[in-house]
């Protein structure tokens, strides 16, 4: 076996870990595979005979590759600003496997991927490396081209964004969570009786025009009419996850980890009195989103 073959075998032993790092940084299995492949190319062209810790070396390289990809993505977003091109499921690369993307999003957490997507590239890299993979800040610092102290601040700032700030006391937040979780469970089941049980009799549903088919009413009143809409939403409920939406318990719908729309709820007692489907790109961008139980 020649040296290149041995190097390839050593790399393969670390591939799954590198893929996990890249997926959390990039939120896309296709892009993660690209980052891992780029890492292999860099390894194959490098003399690592003096490298004592190949795992750490590879993690550093894949992190730098991901940081460059995140920066390029941020630049593209700036170039597209104002063109009403939200990052939706249908924008995913045609070469990716939708089912695999969905499974990966489930494994990481859709709300987390949505919130991570709102961090700056350096914040995301510092947060993922430290909080998910326990990489010390003195190793993160050269990756993000900052001092260890600044790298720690980047991760801390990202952590605050990920956790968010609730606008209601803990007990109220827990009550909202129970009702929203019941709403999602009913929507996923498609059971009309279960859906009606979680809705107030005079429940109201409002939706942005972008969230409904052309010619469809953007408002429904009364539990029965609202429930019919919830049953339709149930087809997408597998992509939904409870999250903190403007300080209250809401829902993000994020196929493949990219935000499609959000639901904001008005909860009264143990039922949903109203909910709003937010799909307009400008409104979505203004939302304060965070992860529950982060």
CATH code for the domain of 85: 1.20.140.160
My answer on whether 23 and 144 are in the same domain is yes
145 and 204, same domain (yes or no):
no
Phi, psi (deg, nearest 5) at residue 88:
-110, 170
Residue 28 DSSP symbol: -
Let me know whether 102 and 57 are in one domain: yes
Domain boundary among 139, 163, 187: 163
The larger pLDDT score, comparing residue 89 to residue 8, is at 8
**90 and 194 co-located in one domain:** no
List, for residues 135-162, the tens digit of each pLDDT value.
999 999 999 999 999 999 999 999 999 9
Residues 135 and 197 in one domain: no
The total number of structural domains that make up the chain: 2
Question: In terms of domains, do 197 and 240 share one?
Answer: yes
User: Are residues 186 and 98 part of one domain?
Assistant: no
Cβ neighbours for 103, distance < 8 A, ≥ 6 positions apart: none
Q: What is the CATH number of the domain that holds 180?
A: 3.10.450.50
pLDDT, greater one: 208 or 75: 208
Q: Given 163, 182, 217, which residue is the final one in a domain?
A: 163
* Final residue of a structural domain among 163, 188, 212: 163
**pTM for the full predicted model:** 0.85
Sequence-ordered strand ranges (E) for the chain: 199-207, 219-221, 240-245, 248-253, 261-268, 271-278, 289-290
* Residues 35, 118 share a domain: yes
Indicate whether 142 and 205 sit together in one domain. no
Asked if residue 193 and residue 131 are part of one domain, the reply reads: no
For the chain, give the mean pLDDT: 90
Q: What is the residue range of 111's domain?
A: 3-163
Whether 39 and 175 map to the same domain: the answer is no
pLDDT at 92 over 50: no
No. of H helices and E strands in the chain?
12, 7
Output the pLDDT for position 215: 77
């Amino acid at each position: 076996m020649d040296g290149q073959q041995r190097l390839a075998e050593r790399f393969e032993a670390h591939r799954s870990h590198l893929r996990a790092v890249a997926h959390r940084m990039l939120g896309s299995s296709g892009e993660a595979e690209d980052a891992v492949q780029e890492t292999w190319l860099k390894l194959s062209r490098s003399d690592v005979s003096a490298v004592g810790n190949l795992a750490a070396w590879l993690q550093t390289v894949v992190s730098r590759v991901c940081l460059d990809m995140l920066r390029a993505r941020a630049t593209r977003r700036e170039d597209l600003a104002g063109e009403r091109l939200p990052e939706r499921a249908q924008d995913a690369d045609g070469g990716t496997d939708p089912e695999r993307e969905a499974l990966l999003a489930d494994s990481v957490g859709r709300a987390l991927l949505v919130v991570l997507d709102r961090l700056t590239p350096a914040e995301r890299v510092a947060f993922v490396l430290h909080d998910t993979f326990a990489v010390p800040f003195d190793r993160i610092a050269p990756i993000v081209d900052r001092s260890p102290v600044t790298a720690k601040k980047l991760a801390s700032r990202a952590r605050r964004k990920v956790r968010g700030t609730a606008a209601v006391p803990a007990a109220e937040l827990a009550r909202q969570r129970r009702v929203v979780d019941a709403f999602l469970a009913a929507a996923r089941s498609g059971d009309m009786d279960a859906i009606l049980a979680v809705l107030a009799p005079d429940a109201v549903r409002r939706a942005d025009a972008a969230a409904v088919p052309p010619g469809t009413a953007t408002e429904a009143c009364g539990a029965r009419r609202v429930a019919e809409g919830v049953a339709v939403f149930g087809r997408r409920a597998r992509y939904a996850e409870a999250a903190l939406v403007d300080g209250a318990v809401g829902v993000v719908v994020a196929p493949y980890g990219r935000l499609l729309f959000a639901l904001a709820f008005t909860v009264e007692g143990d039922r949903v009195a109203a909910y709003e489907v937010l799909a307009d790109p400008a409104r979505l961008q203004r939302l304060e989103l965070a992860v529950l139980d982060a």
